[in-house]
């Protein structure tokens, strides 16, 4: 009798602390208390950037330093837009180049990657296993480790000093192809067969059946490649000489590395905020799709 009661008690305890609960329960408070300190620690530098970017000159160098802004102004942003590089390139030009690079990288990564993923999921051809296997290993490819040969290859290919120099080295994204392929594997084969019976060829199936069904994975790969492109400084510093073709990330990195960095704290903070905002806004917009895609991210 007593064991039965005990068991019942245990069971109800279990139901009160389920994974992915639908309702708030006070038993969840302890978990909140574990995460909150970390969340605050993660958030503090971000808040600092925002606060610092809006500080007027007097508050930037106040002693003792104040963490939060008192009288926010847009002075730092105004100055950021007013200064141009020593080569006479206006900030807007760097921004434009960054956008071209980001859009180009996203487009080609998604297009090439989804075609390859489609072929891995639904088509058969010679060499598919080797290519997929190589891609699988390359997920752990650390791009910074081969900066030297990349520089040599870009030079030998003559991919220097144009927009393609900013885009092409960033297109190969093994993890993107992997995520797309995993997502495509969830599509029931009946759908593909039905399209085949209707007379669609492989490309039509890819475009009309598969692509619309893997939008979450496409969004995920889009944000991953956006992050890679938007923060990239290597392409601008090594593959482009022409100052008017360089990107915002590169320009800001030279600006914040210089000795004047501390003197220009406000401008640097405004620049950092400008780099960070598109990333976080983009992520918040697609975070649902990202979580959806990650459900199939398992590697075997």
Partner 1 sequence: MATSIKANNKKKKKVSLNFLFALPYAVVFFTFVVLLIIISIGLSFFYYDTINIPHFVGLDNYVSLFTRDSDFLQYALPNTIKYALIVGLCGYLLSFIMAWVLAQLTHRIRTILAVILYSPSLTSAVMMTVVWRVLFSGDTRGYLNSLLINWGFISTPIQFLQGPGFIFGIMIFVGLWSSMSVGFLAMLSGILNINKELYEAAYIEGMKSRFQEIFYITIPSMKPQMLFGAVMSIVGTFNSAGLATTLSGSTPPPQYAGWLIVDHMNDYGFARYEMGYASAISVVLLLIVGIFYLVAKKLFTEKD
Q: Which residues in the 87-146 window bind partner 1 by CB under 8 A? A: 108, 111-113, 115-116, 118-120, 123-128, 131, 134-135, 138-146
As a whole number of angstroms, the distance between CA 218 and CA 78 comes to: 36
End-to-end CA distance of the chain: 47
* Residue 268 interacting with partner 1 (CB under 8 A): yes
DSSP string of 24-82, one letter each residue:
--GGGHHHHHHHHHHHHHHHHHHHHHHHHHT--HHHHT-SS--SS-SS--SHHHHHHHH
Residue 79 or 131: the one with the smaller Cβ distance to partner 1 is 131
Does 240 contact partner 1 by CB under 8 A? no
Q: Of the two residues 88 and 267, which places its CB atom closer to partner 1 in the complex?
A: 267
Q: Which of 74, 83, 92, 262 binds partner 1 (CB under 8 A)?
A: 262
Cβ 185 to partner 1 shortest distance, Å: 13
186: which DSSP letter?
Answer: T
The contact pattern for partner 1, residues 55-74, with x = CB under 8 A and - = no contact, is ------x-xxx-x-------
* Among residues 1, 148, 189, 197, the one that binds partner 1 under rule CB under 8 A: 148
Tokens of 33: 């208390």
Residues 29 to 48: which contact partner 1 by CB under 8 A?
A: 31-32, 34-35, 38-39, 41-43, 45-46, 48
Of the two residues 172 and 187, which places its CB atom closer to partner 1 in the complex?
172
| Structure-token match 């009798």, residue found | 1
3-state secondary structure (DSSP) of residue 173: coil
Print the binding letters for residues 195-234 with partner 1: x by CB under 8 A, - otherwise.
-------x---x-----------------x--x---x-x-
Nearer to partner 1, 194 or 291 (CB): 291
Q: Check binding of 300 to partner 1 (CB under 8 A).
A: yes
Q: Does 259 bind partner 1 (CB under 8 A)?
A: yes
- The secondary structure of 227-273 as a DSSP string is HHHHT--HHHHHT---GGG--HHHHHHHHHHSGGGTTTHHHHHHHHH
* Number of residues lying near partner 1 (CB under 8 A): 110
Q: Which is nearer to partner 1, 155 or 161 (CB)?
A: 155
Q: Which is nearer to partner 1, 161 or 287 (CB)?
A: 287
Kindly state the helix (H) or strand (E) to which residue 220 belongs, with its residue range.
helix 215-230
Q: Which of residues 153-192 bind partner 1 (CB under 8 A)?
A: 153, 157, 168-169, 171-172, 174-175, 177
**Looking at beta carbons only, is 88 or 120 nearer to partner 1?**
120
Q: Which is nearer to partner 1, 116 or 240 (CB)?
A: 116
| Cβ-contact 56, 73 below 8 angstroms | yes
What distance in Å separates the CA atoms of residue 110 and residue 118, rounded to the nearest whole number? 12
Distance CA 8, CA 52 (A): 55
Q: CB 32 → partner 1: shortest distance, Å?
A: 7
Q: In Å, how far are 13, 58, 132, 180 from 127, measured between CA atoms?
A: 54, 65, 9, 19
């Amino acid at each position: 009798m007593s064991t039965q009661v005990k068991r019942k008690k245990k069971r109800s305890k279990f139901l009160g602390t389920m994974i992915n609960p639908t309702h708030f329960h006070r038993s969840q408070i302890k978990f909140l208390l574990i995460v909150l300190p970390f969340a605050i620690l993660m958030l503090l530098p971000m808040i600092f950037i925002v606060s610092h970017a809006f500080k007027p000159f007097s508050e930037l160098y106040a002693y003792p330093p104040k963490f939060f802004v008192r009288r926010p102004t847009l002075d730092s942003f105004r100055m950021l837009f007013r200064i141009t590089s020593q080569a006479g390139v206006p900030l807007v030009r760097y921004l434009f180049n960054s956008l071209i690079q980001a859009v180009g990288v996203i487009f080609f990564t998604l297009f090439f990657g989804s075609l390859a993923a489609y072929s891995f999921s639904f088509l058969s051809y010679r060499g598919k296993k080797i290519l997929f296997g190589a891609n699988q290993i390359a997920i752990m490819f650390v791009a910074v480790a081969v900066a030297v040969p990349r520089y040599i290859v870009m030079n030998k290919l003559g991919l220097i000093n144009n927009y393609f120099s900013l885009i092409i080295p960033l297109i190969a994204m093994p993890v993107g192809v992997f995520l797309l392929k995993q997502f495509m594997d969830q599509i029931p084969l009946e759908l593909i067969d039905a399209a085949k019976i209707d007379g669609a060829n492989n490309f039509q199936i890819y475009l009309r059946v598969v692509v619309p069904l893997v939008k979450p994975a496409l969004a995920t790969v889009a944000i991953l490649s956006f992050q890679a492109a938007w923060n990239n400084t290597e392409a601008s510093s090594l593959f482009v000489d022409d100052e008017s073709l360089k990107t915002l990330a590169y320009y800001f990195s030279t600006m914040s590395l210089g000795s004047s960095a501390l003197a220009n704290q406000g401008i640097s903070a405004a620049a950092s905020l400008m780099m960070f905002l598109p990333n976080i806004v983009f992520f918040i917009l697609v975070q649902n799709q990202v979580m959806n895609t990650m459900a199939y991210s398992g590697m075997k």
